[in-house]
Structure 1
Amino acid sequence: MQVKQKHSWEVLRDYLARDDSKGLNDYLSALTGEESLRAMSRLDAEEQQLIMARVSPESAAEFIEYIPSEPAADLLGELSPEVAASIVSELDSDDAADVLAELEHEDLEEILRYMDERDAGEARQLLAYDDDVAGGLMMTEYFSYPRAFRAGAVLQDLARREEEYDLHNVHYIYVTGAGKQLLGMVLIRDIVFAAPNVRLAEIVRPAVSVRDSTPLDELENLFDENSFTAVPVVDETGHMLGVVRRRAVYDAVAERAESEHLKSQGIVGGEELRSMPTQLRSRRRLSWLSINIVLNLIAASVIAQYQDVLSAVIVLAVFLPIISDMSGCSGNQAVAVSMRELSLGVIKPADFYYVWRKEAVVGLINGVVLGILIASVAWIWQGNPWLGLVVGLALSVNTVVAVSIGGTVPVLLKALKIDPAVASGPILTTITDMCGFFLLLGTASLMLPLLSAN
């Protein structure tokens, strides 16, 4: 008889029930990041807190590092400040700052109070930056030496700090002057193959650096165009503050894209995992869905005004969702382009007319093509060219309307300091549905004798 293997979350519960902290720590440490996230997400909040409190700070930090910042902060906020501080202290400085930034002010101050004074100071320094600039993405752990240091002395120091070296996957050594003034960088292999008595000043290379205020999009472009694993971050005087890693930049870009996607789908208020409290998840979703009920009722009111037309030519009901969906797709394409250009700084709110003109031209071309296609289908199916004309005309005009709205609404919302990712979708859907229904049914009412002739 085959014995059923227990799921990882069931194993964790068993260790908790036996109060076996060592077994719990060893088992969690043996899981991959993905496996530990899956296992912990199946436990309730109280069980998660018990596990975090009983495993070593190192094991807890490995798990915290793998989950999104907001759920991680929620978990830490429920622990005692002393335990939470011990876990945060094991995180890389950039990861620690990401998690701490999501905490309530009171919880943040309590945790910082229990942290090492130097670690707490570095955390406050990083928290002072926005999370989408180099200063907010950098880590303060890096290797730097004065220019007068010799290669042999550097290698001896690296050997002494072997664990730290492995942890941060070091590829570069930074050469600094008085007051941490960045002078350049040296590759690890240059030091290894240099004579022991060679000074760093003799093998130093120019270093590409970024200001602490450099925005995320510029950092993304920099790493796209170069093979750096990290770049040094300096202040306005050229003093080195930290390094920003390629991984940190790409993670931030991915998180931003995911956040915008979640907002566009009605998940507002931040990250959502199914392990989060049910009431919180429900409340966040309802805030969007409730608004959508009102907006859909507005769009449906247009149909209500033309009930007689629909009764007379019932086939029009088949084309209502087609025109709504096709126009929505065209509009969403325009929204996506505007969102991307806004994030890159290619367009500003002042470019409203420019955006509309460009989109209107594309919409006109696509509208004519799509209109001809749908008109042909309607004509062949029902054998009535006038039906084809009504349907094709409605889709053509509504396509122009959809791309015009989709392209310009994000720009307008940006000017009003409203998040375009949240509001663009509902506005686009409501307007395109109303216009599409009105164009189809309004035109049909004018040509009713021709449409009902067959």
Structure 2
Amino acid sequence: MEKEITFLEELSSLIELKDSESIHQLMESLKTEDLIYAYNRLSKDEQVSLIGLLSPEDAAMLLERIPQNQAIEAIENAQIETAASILNELYSDDQVDILAELETEEAEAILEEMRPQEAENVRKLIQYDSESAGGLMVTEYLAYDSAMTVAQTVKDLQEKAEEYEDYHVQYIYVTSDNRFVGVLQMRDLLLSRPNTKLDTIAIKNAKTMLPNARLEELIGFFDKYDFFGVPVVSETEELLGIVLRKDLREAETERSNLELLETQGIVGGEELRSMPVWLRSKRRLSWLSVNIVLNIIAASVIAFYQDTLEEVIALAVFLPVISDMSGCSGNQAVAVSLRELSLGLVKPYELARVLWQEIKVGLINGLVLGLLIGLAAFIYMGNFYLGLVVGGALAINTIVAVSIGGTIPLFLKKMNTDPALASGPILTTVTDMLGFFLALTFAGAAMSYLV
């Protein structure tokens, strides 16, 4: 804690003094996690001042490390010239990710100030969907004509070493008239004779992707092949860019994180506590307010069976367990369906297949969980029939919960509704209502044995 306070205070002090050189030295000495922490703890004014004091290279390095919504905000708050100079230093995919989120006029103003070649490249890339190969690819790669020799290629690499220092140089991409020919490993380049043509040592028939290939297809590709990256080519085999494994995994993680937030009812994407309070509140309330109505509906079942509950007060102990355990089982099924939908492993029309798979799991888990809670009820009250009531209610509710949890995301997807956002509340309402209904109905039928 002492160290955190020290570097935070030091950074704030240097920003106040406008000491750019010392800020650079401090940032160089900090670990990535400390740098992110420090930036997040600065006031909004300090963040804006910091971006303005940093060199474009240092600012770009910072923006690559902080959460994307903070990077977008930093560019929005910077002067147009400053924003353009920073974006010039970012990788092409990061440039597009940020500019795509800005207002059209602001993005265009920044593009006008960027280096012409960088701006032209961004305009080409921004047309692609962010979750496609075109949207994820980088255009910073090394490509050489197939007619060049090893000696010519090595000479170019040496002469432009400073220009290429931020490139990913594990592979060289071989082209002919800008059409993709093959991939050349750096090892093969360095170990070949100087007069050898690249065409003769390149790996031909290498796997490629079209720019409209979806995230699910890319995930499947990298799961199958242990490649550093995959070339993206046009219909005419023109080399457009490279999708790197690390960028694909980042996109996959980002999607999973957003889906997790949506399943918890946080609408509108990533949330950080540094965001405005009203915005965070609005995102959460959009579903919490709906949940009030859904919970009132579930609670109405208890009100309807109030007399039964008054007669068998021990049920009040087990009703929350029945609803909660069934909800947990259902949420597990929701998570699996969301994951399989995102990976393209299941289609929305496969409801029957998914239902049957979940029923099998539900039967086993329902039986085990029902026996456990039934045993607990028997030990608690010494009444076999109470154990039978709560155990049977949980067993049946678990089967229903996993069946709904597994199929509702597919149904919602088929209805063009976001399954990550709506599955949780629907599942919770149904499992609560059914759990209460089953337990109280069974108790009413066995009343003479329970009192």
TM-score normalized with structure 1 length: 0.95
- Is residue 2:199 matched to residue 1:201? yes
CA contact (8 A) 1:43 1:275 kept: no
CA distance in 2, matches of 1:355, 1:263: 22
Mapped partners of 1:236, 1:53: distance in 2: 43
Please give the per-residue CA displacement for 1:293-328, whole angstroms capped at 9, x wherever unaligned.
222222112112222222111110111111011101
Mapping of 1:354-373 within 5 angstroms? 354-373=353-372
CA distance in structure 1 between the partners assigned to 2:379 and 2:23 by the alignment = 69
- 8 Å CA contact 1:371–1:396 kept in 2: the answer is yes
Partners in 1 of 2:382 and 2:105 — Cα distance? Answer: 71
1:219-277 CA-to-partner distances (Å, cap 9, x unmatched) read 22322333321221111111100111111011111111111111112322111222222
1:186 aligned residue: 184
Range with greater deviation from structure 2 (162-171 or 430-439): 162-171
Instruction: Say which SS state the counterpart of residue 349 (structure 2) adopts.
Output: helix
Correspondence for 2:407: 408
Q: Could you tell me whether the CA contact under 8 Å between 1:70 and 1:102 is conserved in 2? A: no
CA contact (8 A) 1:69 1:102 kept: no
Tell me the residue number matched to 2:288: 289
Secondary structure, aligned partner of 2:432: helix
* CA shift in 2, pair 1:192/1:213, >3 Å: same
Q: One-letter code of the match for 2:195?
A: N
> Match for 2:288: what amino acid?
L
- Measured on the aligned residues, the alpha-carbon RMSD in Å equals 1.7
> Do the aligned partners of residues 265 and 60 (structure 1) sit closer, same or farther apart at CA in structure 2, a change above 3 Å counting?
same
**Equivalences for residues 128-143 of structure 1 within 5 A:** 128-143=127-142
Mapped contact 2:220–2:343 kept (Cα < 8 A): no
C-alpha distance 354-121 of structure 1, shift in aligned 2 (>3 A): same
- Looking at structure 1, the residues matched to 270 and 379 of structure 2 have their Cα atoms a distance apart, in angstroms, of 49
- Structure 1 counterpart of 2:203, one-letter code: R
1:5, distance to aligned residue in structure 2 (A): 8.1
Letter in 2 for 1:55: L
More deviation, 443-452/21-30:
21-30
What is the alpha-carbon distance in structure 1 between the residues aligned to residue 130 and residue 54 of structure 2? 30
CA distance in 1 between counterparts of 2:29 and 2:167 reads: 21
SS at match of 1:408: helix
Residue 165 of structure 2 aligns to a residue in which SS?
Answer: helix
The 1:176/1:5 distance shift into structure 2, 3 A limit, reads closer
Distance 1:198 1:115, change over 3 A: same
Please tell me the residue identity of whatever aligns with 1:392. Answer: G
Identity of aligned residues (%): 51
| Cα distance in 2 between the residues matched to 1:63 and 1:333 | 37
What are the residue-to-residue correspondences of 1:294-305 with 2, within 5 Å?
Answer: 294-305=293-304
Superposition deviation, residue 6 in structure 1: 4.5
Distance 1:420 1:254, change over 3 A: same
What secondary structure sits across from 1:299 in the alignment? helix
Q: Which runs of 5+ in 2 are unaligned?
A: none
CA-CA distance at 1:441 after TM superposition: 1.0
Q: Give, in whole Å, the separation in 2 of the partners of 1:87 and 1:260.
A: 31
**Structure 1 residues not aligned, in runs of 5+:** none
3-state DSSP class of the match of 2:203? coil
User: What amino acid maps onto 1:183 in structure 2?
Assistant: V
Partner of 1:101: 100
Match in the other structure for 1:71: 70
Query: What is aligned with 1:423?
Result: 422
Partners in 1 of 2:274 and 2:149 — Cα distance?
Answer: 53
Alpha-carbon distance in 1 for matches of 2:110, 2:201? 43
Q: What is aligned with 2:30?
A: 31
Q: Distance in 1 between matches of 2:431 and 2:182?
A: 56
Aligned AA (1:19): K
Offset, 1:66: 0.8
Specify the alignment match of 2:379 in structure 1.
380
The structural deviation recorded for 1:379 is: 2.1
In the alignment, which residue of structure 1 is the partner of 2:449?
450
Q: Is the 8 A contact 2:330 2:406 kept in 1?
A: yes
1:32–1:163 distance in 2 versus 1, CA, 3 Å: farther
For each residue in 1:69-115, what CA deviation from the matched residue of structure 2 results, as whole angstroms up to 9, or x when unmatched? 22211221111221111111100111221222222323222221211
C-alpha displacement of 1:25? 2.9
**Contact 1:41–1:274 (CA<8 Å) still a contact in 2?**
no
Question: Aligned residue for 1:264?
Answer: 263
> Does the CA-based 8 Å contact 1:390-1:440 persist in structure 2?
yes
SS of residue paired to 1:398: helix
The separation in 2 between residues aligned to 1:394 and 1:168, in whole angstroms, is 61
Matches within 5 A, 1:147-186: 147-178=146-177, 180-186=178-184
Structure 1, 410-419 or 272-281: larger mean CA deviation: 272-281
User: Structure 1 residues 17-26 or 67-76, which shifts more?
Assistant: 17-26
- 1:337 alignment counterpart: 336
Runs (4 or more) in structure 1 with deviation over 3 Å come to: 3-6
Contact map agreement 2:129 2:135 (CA 8 A) in 1: yes
Kept in 2, the 8 Å contact 1:68–1:271? The answer is no
2:115 pairs with 1:110:
no
What's the offset of the Cα at 1:119? 1.0
Give SS of 1:355's match. Answer: helix
TM (normalized to structure 2)? 0.95
Work out the CA distance in 2 between the residues paired with 1:129 and 1:44.
35
**Distance in 2 of aligned mates of 1:93 and 1:32:** 25
- Report deviation, 1:450: 1.7
Q: What is the CA–CA distance in structure 1 between the aligned matches of 2:110 and 2:30, rounded to whole Å?
A: 27
Match of 2:223 in 1: 224
**Is the CA contact (8 Å cut-off) linking 2:141 and 2:168 kept in structure 1?**
no
Alpha-carbon distance change, 220 to 202 in structure 1, aligned in 2, over 3 angstroms = same
1:398-422 residue CA offsets vs partner (Å, 9 max, x unmatched): 1121012101110111011111111
